[in-house]
Structure 1
Amino acid sequence: MESQKTALILIGYQNDYFSPDGILYKVIEESSKVTNVVSNTVYLLKCLESSSVLIITTPIFFTPNYEELIEPVGILKTIKESNAFQMGTEGSEAITELRPFEQRIMEVPGKRGFNAFINTNLDQILKQRGITDIVIAGAVTSICIDSTGRAAHEKGYHVKILSDCTSARTVFEQDFYCGTIFPLYADVVTHMELLERLQLLVSA
């Protein structure tokens, strides 16, 4: 892997998922704690901060009346009914742990569903930067991570999914996707294995 051709895509690192008072915190709490997702991600960002790796966040936002969602089902229905990820609310903001890296992270707006490539210019940005390898971290493993990973693979990118920087609804679901689903189209690695490949390990 070459740092200048690699992009880290951060998905869902927002208070409504990762903050203890977040509306949907309970959805991924167990999985996040078991693998120390937030602390692993922070360490990864620390190691990547001075590198040439492109770091992108693709937050999900909705207007107060959720006019973007037409007859939503599943988790999008839950988001609407619980008033999660409303634009301008604390719940929709990035978690505080990412603030030290704000100047290093590029925000790509427009995500309204599972796939970070839909309704955004993410693909255009990646192609303009000559990115060939995409690394995905965040939540939720079985939904946004999987949807974005498959789309990236279909667009011709080499996909890496971080097993210890992604959060599922249950530990079983996390293990199942990392062990059975993701390997069908992506490399599943830990954040330390990724850093070794990029030769970017630094002291904690």
Structure 2
Amino acid sequence: MKTAIILIGYQNDYFAEDGILREVVEESSKVTNIIENTVNLINNCDDKLIISTPIIFSESYAELSEPVGILKTIRDVGAFKEGSKGSETIVELKAFEDKIIEIPGKLDLNAFNNTALEQTLKDNDINHIYLAGTVASICIDSTGRSAVERGFKVTMISDCISGRTVFEKDFFCENIYPLYSDSVLSTEICNGGK
């Protein structure tokens, strides 16, 4: 199977010291060690297509019509605005810009909506995707389920996922994701792994 790694939410508003939504994923991110694990993953995955799908909104958030939940929170706190430091990719991944294909257009919870993600995967004959990033219960789950519905095999990289709490991340990795996907550690998938 041809595989790709999809990175979701690796942006300053979640992970930088001054990120507007850092507190939302900070505890889970530390426990998981998501950033270091993801950097090691990318360093060791020369054999896989790596794609980033950042969420970025206009200054006015005109793309969000009556948002609820996390999308309302994003608008209310001013996160992920186009041209802002918070919408940029985290510095730890900038060193890999030549290895990572960035696919813009993500405006909601699912990385397939309003983006060229599905077409990019098809153009590269990808039939198996690995998911990494944040938030476990929202964008990771939504994108994973959508991928399965589109015919892709899905594997979650459990030590490269964070949630709003440690419990949430563990609950999704142990109880929800196994209903539609496999799960591996980052050390299991590259350069000789699965």
Give TM-score scaled by structure 1 length.
Answer: 0.93
How many residue pairs get aligned? The number is 194
In the TM superposition, 1:103-182 aligns within 5 A as 103-182=98-177
Structure 2 CA distance for aligned equivalents of residues 35 and 77 of structure 1: 27
Deviations 1:15-59 (A, max 9, x none): 0001121000000000000010000000000001x32x1110000
Structure 1 CA distance for aligned equivalents of residues 188 and 99 of structure 2: 22
Structure 1 CA distance for aligned equivalents of residues 58 and 105 of structure 2: 12
The correspondence for 1:23, drawn from 11, 14, 20, is 20
Q: Secondary structure of the residue that 2:189 maps to in structure 1?
A: helix
Task: Report the Cα offset of residue 99 of structure 1.
Answer: 1.3
**Residue equivalent to 1:94:** 89
Letter paired with 1:199: G
Q: Secondary structure of the residue that 1:110 maps to in structure 2?
A: coil
Deviations 1:102-161 (A, max 9, x none): 011101010000000000111011011100110000010000000000000111111011
The correspondence for 2:29, drawn from 32, 44, 47, is 32
**Residue equivalent to 1:43:** 40
Q: Secondary structure of the residue that 1:101 maps to in structure 2?
A: coil
Structure 2 CA distance for aligned equivalents of residues 100 and 66 of structure 1: 29
Deviations 1:176-201 (A, max 9, x none): 00000000000011101223xx5059
The answer to whether 1:65 aligns with 2:83 is no
Letter paired with 2:74: I
Letter paired with 2:52: T
Structure 2 CA distance for aligned equivalents of residues 70 and 64 of structure 1: 14
Letter paired with 1:156: G
Structure 2 CA distance for aligned equivalents of residues 20 and 171 of structure 1: 19
Unpaired segments of 5 or more residues in structure 1? none
Give TM-score scaled by structure 2 length.
Answer: 0.97
Query: Do the aligned residues in 1 keep the contact of 2:187 with 2:193 (CA within 8 Å)?
Result: no
Deviations 1:54-83 (A, max 9, x none): 110000000011000001000000000000
Structure 1 CA distance for aligned equivalents of residues 41 and 188 of structure 2: 11
Structure 1 CA distance for aligned equivalents of residues 28 and 162 of structure 2: 5
Structure 2 CA distance for aligned equivalents of residues 156 and 71 of structure 1: 31
Over the residues paired in the alignment, what is the CA RMSD in angstroms?
1.2
**Residue equivalent to 1:76:** 71
Letter paired with 2:86: G
**Residue equivalent to 2:192:** 199
Unpaired segments of 5 or more residues in structure 2? none
Structure 2 CA distance for aligned equivalents of residues 177 and 117 of structure 1: 20
- Greater than 3 Å deviation, 4+ residue runs: none
